[in-house]
Amino acid sequence: MTVDELRRAFLAYFEARGHRRIPSSSLVPHGDPTLLFTTAGMVQFKPYFMGLADPPAPRLTSIQRCFRTTDVEAVGDDTHLTLFEMLGNFSVGDYFKAEATGWAWGFLTGELRIDPERLWATVFTDDDEAAALWEAQGLPPARILRYTAAQGNWWGPPGDTGPMGPCSELHYDWGATPGCPQCARGACHPNVGCGRFLEIWNLVFMTYYREPDGSRSDLPAANIDTGAGLERLASVVQGVRAVYETDELRHVLAAAEAVSGRRYDPAEHPEAARALRAITEHARALAFLVTDGVLPSNEGRGYVLRRLLRRAVYFGHRLGVREPFLERVVDAAIEHGQRAHPELAVQCDFIRRIARLEEARFQATLDRGLQLLDEVIARERSSRRIPGRDMFVLYDTHGLPPELTLEVAQGQGYAVDRAGFDAEMEQQRERSKGETAFTAAQDDRALRYAALDVRTDFIGYEQLEARTTVAHIVSGDVAVERLAAGEAGEIVLRATPLYPEGGGQVGDRGEIVTAGGRFAVEDTQRYGETIVHFGRALDGTLVAGDEATACVDGARRLDTARNHTGTHLLHAALRSVLGTHVRQAGSYVGPDRLRFDYTHPEAPTEEQLQAIQRIVNAKVRADIESATFELEYDEAIARGAIAFFEDRYAARVRMVEYCDSRGHAPGAHIAQCYSRELCGGTHLHATGQVGMLLIVADSSIGAGLRRIEAVTGAAAERL
């Protein structure tokens, strides 16, 4: 069974058991500040487990691309990867342990025909139910082990806060490892770590939530989160102990062999094999990270990518490669990954370009680093020892891998202060907090409104005024029955025409009027399914339960819509002039201006900016009518919608398009559109209402990231 056949078999198995297939989300978590990267299949489903949003179905299945920085140093052994795919089946308050264990066992031993005599299970210390369920499947008690949280049988949260719970794992037994004392005594088990056992399935019984203060609370319902590493499972099915010898990765490994002139032979040349595996893995990870909008830089996600790229180049250097090679290995990763991940093919030219530019840049850095190392060696001639601090600076500032520093130093008879280097690295890890502490900020208000369980219907696409009901009032973070004149507060309505901030667009302002009072809305925000109006009572008293009229500030909404439509036109023009690798990296859409952050490795020329502006204003003058559709996500993507910042969780999405409809029947699908995006924001009925768009600035905001600012309508005319 090939890796791709394994993908299809997994999804078909769980779809046949009532699960809805959900596409993989980006490696860059959208709307989750607690994570640097998507580290598990459940990340995109966190709002469902926390009760912040309704799932498209109670049973879900996906194959999620994941990235974990904790495994970088281990890459090169048989099993560790930074970039991997996670098979997952999920229950949001539906089935629980019995079904989850039964289906796991059925898929592994039935569909994949894995020998049940090779399987071991681990359960949390006091989880008698899970142990009994595995025994009912046929596992003898001797192969059902109880582990503590410290031993690995507690999962989560994926950040400093979030869902978590006890877990149960299935491990595959490869057979006794030569030289392992525990294997020789018949006492080996999965936590010995000799390589005999491979974890292939993890069931998380997700029932708790870790709060910011470290305490835990119950989730709204008991959930199931399954994680099974595709590459590891493929290694078992294909009978190879190294994931790099499975069919897809082996093709990429062959490219690494070709560029280095070295044959992959772990038995005869283990160090060369390790280097070839590292080049293979990092080239593939580079392709996926760049596809999802990560570009090399000196901080955050970009620093992680740059570190991988440099590690790959270092291992090439170690194999004796002195000419640029990485692009060719990346080509192989794209070629053999694009069937399951067609977005790789779309971005292939840009991925190659990034690999080529960064490799050339590091070659110069590498040479400089080696020169500095020579200076340190000369300085420390009397001690014949490289200080840990110097080793760290060479690595952190000049990009010289510590392995290379060690190799050069030992070649000249020098020792290295590895302990000092490790101490410096640990201090850096504490400063950066790795992948899970990108920020631990948790919005308590979101949890409060999730517990309130009030759904607000947004009805503001076609109307700016509506009759509704005051459902809830908050003042000073406390629920109250009434709000008197002069008091600041938050009001929740059953339905509202006021747009809540989202997709870069600011929240609406306006008024809420009841028979007894009037409330000025200064901002509108969404928390899960609840829309909250922030502001102050102007006069009288507003009471929970009162009938009300909600009104939008129409002039402000129109100016905002003008800028939002302008943003879509600008986005399309950027992709037309600079290339389809351009993707949205953030935006601000207000009544006064628009700001659009986008990925591009260099500053556009003045001629390119002028061309972009000309294209936008030509579309404005063409007065192209807008059309909006609510449809299934897959259908929208098939129609060509851009979905970089889509609502990942919605079963149905809203698509906004600007197409020349002349010669087409009303409502007919038009294959070629100037702009077609998934978007929940408010827009104009036709591009002519934009008036004109004027670009006022374009600047760098980081490596590979740029910000373009513009104004429309009267603001543009004034300039």
Largest CA-CA distance found in the chain, in angstroms, rounded:
89
260 to 79, 594, 648: CA distances (angstroms): 22, 49, 41
For residues 391 and 52, give the distance between their C-alpha atoms in angstroms, rounded to a whole number: 47
Provide the 10 A C-beta neighbour count for residue 609.
Answer: 18
Location of structure tokens 């009938």: 547
State pTM to two decimals.
Answer: 0.70
The residue among 707, 565, 554, 633 whose CA lies nearest residue 56 is: 633
Which H or E element spans position 636?
A: helix 633-638
Long-range contacts of 10-17 (CB under 8 A, 24+ apart): 10/61, 10/63, 10/87, 10/107, 10/228, 11/61, 11/63, 13/103, 13/107, 13/111, 14/59, 14/61, 14/89, 14/103, 15/61, 17/59, 17/103
Can you tell me whether residue 543 is helix, strand or coil? Answer: strand
pLDDT tens-digit map of 557-583: 999 999 999 999 999 999 999 998 898
Portion of the chain with pLDDT greater than 90, in percent: 66
Q: 341 pLDDT exceeds 90?
A: yes
pLDDT at 639: 85
**DSSP secondary structure of 507-536:** PP-EEEEESSEEEEEEEEEEETTEEEEEEE
Location of structure tokens 């498209």: 56
- Measured CA angle at 503 (ends 498, 506), to 5 deg: 45
Could you tell me the domains of the chain?
A: 3-244 (3.30.930.10), 253-369 (no CATH), 380-431 (no CATH), 444-552 (2.40.30.130), 557-718 (3.30.980.10)
Q: 285 pLDDT exceeds 90?
A: yes
For residues 447 and 218, give the distance between their C-alpha atoms in angstroms, rounded to a whole number: 12
Which range has the worst mean pLDDT, 554-568, 602-616, 699-713? 699-713
For residues 221 and 645, give the distance between their C-alpha atoms in angstroms, rounded to a whole number: 29
CA 352 to chain centre: 22
For residues 252 and 531, give the distance between their C-alpha atoms in angstroms, rounded to a whole number: 49
**Residue 393, exposed/middle/buried by CB under 10 A (0-12, 13-18, 19+)?**
middle
Q: 445 pLDDT exceeds 80?
A: no
Q: 362 pLDDT exceeds 60?
A: yes
Q: What's the length of the chain? A: 719
pLDDT at 219: 84
Q: 178 pLDDT exceeds 80?
A: yes
State the average pLDDT over residues 29-40: 82
For residues 682 and 138, give the distance between their C-alpha atoms in angstroms, rounded to a whole number: 57
Q: 150 pLDDT exceeds 60?
A: yes
DSSP character at residue 112: S
Q: 717 pLDDT exceeds 80?
A: yes
Which range has the worst mean pLDDT, 13-22, 57-66, 527-536? 527-536
> Quick check: bond before 157 cis, omega within 30?
yes
Tell me the Ramachandran region of residue 149: left when phi exceeds 0, alpha when psi lies from -120 to 50, beta otherwise.
alpha
pLDDT tens-digit map of 643-657: 764 345 456 889 999
pLDDT at 671: 58
Can you tell me whether residue 116 is helix, strand or coil? Answer: helix
pLDDT at 640: 83
pLDDT at 667: 53
pLDDT at 706: 92
Can you tell me whether residue 218 is helix, strand or coil? Answer: strand
Which range has the worst mean pLDDT, 44-58, 129-143, 514-528? 44-58
For residues 234 and 219, give the distance between their C-alpha atoms in angstroms, rounded to a whole number: 34
